[in-house]
Amino acid sequence: MTHTGQCFCGQVRLEIDSEPLGARMCWCRDCQRIASGSATVNVLFPEAAVRYHGEITTLEKVADSGNTVERGFCPTCGSQLYSKTMKPTGLPMRVRAGTLDDPEVMPPQAIIWAASAPSWAVLDPALPHYPKGPPPR
């Protein structure tokens, strides 16, 4: 099944020819900044299955994990589209759940970087919480 999505203004569209590998909320400080205060909600897919159409601006930064992470966003509307780990390689691509046409594709299975969440954050107690990054796959 192909999953589809787009940014807020519609300039960027995406198609994904894969079922998700997982989904999680991330409360790292980088995600709080790009998500304007909340966690990011990310659905994981094999990078080779994700195709974007349209103009994307990318920004590479060393994350709290020490990994070098590229984040892609729409230069017109600013919607955050994805993050992918450039170093080390081989990790799944994280597609922002809100950009999927169907945000029910997979609900979060875990909360990562829970220790960085502000005191007012509501963290679902039914989900596993990891104080920092996800456990090794």
Token representation of residue 111: 């909360």
Token pair 């080779």 is at which residue?
48
> Both tokens of residue 29?
């400080």
Residue 67 within binding range of Zn ion, rule CB under 5 A: no
The yes or no reply on residue 28 touching Zn ion (CB under 5 A) is: yes
- The correct pick among 9, 86, 115, 123 for binding Zn ion (CB under 5 A) is 9
Binding mask 71-110 toward Zn ion (x if CB under 5 A, else -) reads: ---x-xx---------------------------------
93 neighbors 100 (Cβ within 8 angstroms)? no
> Should residue 31 be labelled a site residue for Zn ion when binding is judged by CB under 5 A?
yes
Tell me how far, at minimum, the Cβ of 79 lies from Zn ion, in Å: 5
- Give the β-pairing of 68-73 and 80-87: antiparallel
User: Taking Cα atoms as reference points, which of 62, 96, 61 lies closest to residue 79?
Assistant: 96
Site residues, Zn ion (CB under 5 A):
7, 9, 11, 26, 28, 31, 74, 76-77
